Amino acid sequence: ETGVTQTPRHLVMGMTNKKSLKCEQHLGHNAMYWYKQSAKKPLELMFVYSLEERVENNSVPSRFSPECPNSSHLFLHLHTLQPEDSALYLCASSQDLVGLEGNSPLHFGNGTRLTVT
């Protein structure tokens, strides 16, 4: 079992649909993240949560809505998406935002491949 599990692996949705992506981490980490990965582009940070509180919202359109009910689970709720939102959505976790030695490395899940038609 991987440390960070994402479901579903693939999702196809129409522009009027509502769906949710789920992420669960089994590493005992306190910080969780959503990243967007598009072809030939750098990973884009979308949201950061630390101890279930949102600490970063990187100018993400409101059609993306995160939820962090506890430190092990993270959701990304999707509604009225656009075709340009098609991408790989990656969840990551880290021990803390800042550890004893400074930053904590990120551990990623395998992502949800989202296609918006």
Partner 1 sequence: QKEVEQDPGPLSVPEGAIVSLNCTYSNSAFQYFMWYRQYSRKGPELLMYTYSSGNKEDGRFTAQVDKSSKYISLFIRDSQPSDSATYLCASGPYNFNKFYFGSGTKLNVKP
Nearer to partner 1, 42 or 83 (CB): 42
Residue 99 Cβ, how far from partner 1 at the closest point, in Å? 9
Q: Which of residues 16 and 39 has its CB atom nearest to partner 1 in the complex?
A: 39
Contact 35, 58 (CB under 8 A): no
Residues 67-106 that bind partner 1 (CB under 8 A): 90, 94, 97-98, 101-106
DSSP state for residue 64 in the 8-state scheme? E
Asked if 66 is part of the footprint of partner 1 (rule: CB under 8 A), the reply reads no
How far, in Å, CA of 66 to CA of 81, rounded? 14
| 110 part of the interface to partner 1, by CB under 8 A | yes
**CA contacts within 13 A on the Cβ side of 34:** 29
Instruction: Assess 56 for contact with partner 1 (CB under 8 A).
Output: yes
The helix or strand, by DSSP H or E, that contains position 102, with its residue range, turns out to be none
